[in-house]
Each structure stands twice: as structure tokens, then as C-alpha cells.
Amino acid sequence: MNENQKQMMIQGMQELQIPSTKEKLQKFEIFLDLLMEWNQKMNLTAIKDSDEIITHHFLDSATCSLHSAYGDCQKILDLGTGAGFPGIPLKILFPAQDFVLMDSLKKRLIFLQVVKESLRFDRLELVHARAEEGARNKEYREGFDAVVSRAVAALPVLLEYTVPFLKVDGWFFCQKGPQWKEEMEYAQKAMQVLSVKLEDSMEVKVPFTDLNHQLLVFRKTAATQKAYPRKTGTPSKKPIK
């Protein structure tokens, strides 16, 4: 990470009003170096440019924490973490929170184990599982204060993946694009079935980019029915509607 990139991170955090420190900046630098190195060996992210990784991954991930409810959450699941987004940037910024990063591809978790060791993270667990399987595990079902996810899936599908992991009164922080209102209409039945309510939505601009998205903030209002999530592949093939 060169000096210009360090300044980009510092200024970006200031614009998002998220506290940063020299130690956190050093961890982002290590993470960036590892990502650039490993991306040559395996396809971790389609974004190859280091400046764009800072804006489109690091700063964009940080925006998941902008709602006031986020700070009250202790145990957080990053579902479909991929190369560690948004979980690793959030863990760097909020080291006192407990994180579980879950993904269905083993090779990504091999990379994330190196990241975990390099950044000397404790209270960070890496789990190899699909969402439908993980939510059936007693250790994880209804065990989290919050779920964060940047997974690209229709909202009814995402809700069926994420809500079973949440405690009652837990939060799902979800990034969506310009069509979020249409997706909300499409998701009304899923929200009803899964006992989840939209508590807030925030328009978010990612510094140094033309990225504008909506941070949707859902709260779980009752325990998830035992039937959900349905078996592997069903939520995406037959969304609740």
C-alpha cells in the first residue's frame, strides 16, 4: 500500500465517520498485499487493481457498519464471505466483535486462514458450509446478533439464507443497488414467513467512487420456523413468494 493509498484509506474512513488507527491501517496494508499475492494463484476477486480493492472492497465493506444498531452487536456472521468481504475489513475496524466467516468454497477459506494468522486475529472462526447446511447446525442456528452479506442474490433468497442464523431481535445488514425498492416488493412474502421486518434503509455513497447503494437494515421479530431454510438449492430455485 503506497502513500496515496494510505491517504485514500484515511480520508475514506473520515468521510464514513469510522474511527481508524495506525494499527488498523497496517492490517489493511497486510490484507491488501496478501490479496494481491493470492489473487495471482486463485481467482479470489475479479477486481485486480489495488486502488479499486481499497474503494470497492475495503471502504465498501466498511459501510455495512454505518447503522447505529451495528455497534450493539457482538457476534456477527459474514455469510458467503468469498475473499473475506465484508467480514475482514469489519473485523479490522471492530476487533472486539466476534466473527464467523462462512463460505461454500474451501479454497477461499485456505486463503482466509493465512489472513487470520497474518493479522493475528482471535475471536474469528472460519467455517466451510453452504448457508442451507450451516443454518441447520445447532451451533450456528439463531446464534448471531447480526449477519452481514454482500452476496449477489435476490432479496427473498438472501433472507432465507440469513435469517435462520439470527437470534430473535438480531439484525441483517444488507447492501442493495438501485432496484432495492422493487426487490423489497418481491420480498414481502419472505419477510412475513421468516418473521423479519425492515427497520431502516440508508443511502450510502462509497468515497472516491460513483457507487451508491442502499443499506437495508432488517430485524428478526420471532423464531424461524423449523422448515427454513429449505434443502440445498431450493431457496434459489424456488424463492418464497
Q: Rounded to the nearest 10 degrees, what angle do helices 22-38 and 3-16 cross at?
A: 120
What is the rounded CA–CA span in Å between residue 78 and residue 57? 14
pLDDT in tens, 8-35: 999 999 999 999 899 999 999 999 999 9
Task: Give pLDDT, residue 178.
Answer: 87
Fold of 3-237: Rossmann fold (3.40.50)
Pairing state of beta strands 144-149 and 75-79? parallel
Phi, psi of 230 (to 5 degrees): -75, 175
Q: Decide: 70 and 200 in contact? Cβ < 8 Å.
A: no
Please state the domain extents for the chain: 3-237
What residues of the chain score a pLDDT lower than 50? Answer: none
Phi, psi of 178 (to 5 degrees): -60, -20
Q: Decide: 193 and 215 in contact? Cβ < 8 Å.
A: no
Which pTM value belongs to this model? Answer: 0.95
Task: Give pLDDT, residue 211.
Answer: 85
Task: Give pLDDT, residue 63.
Answer: 95
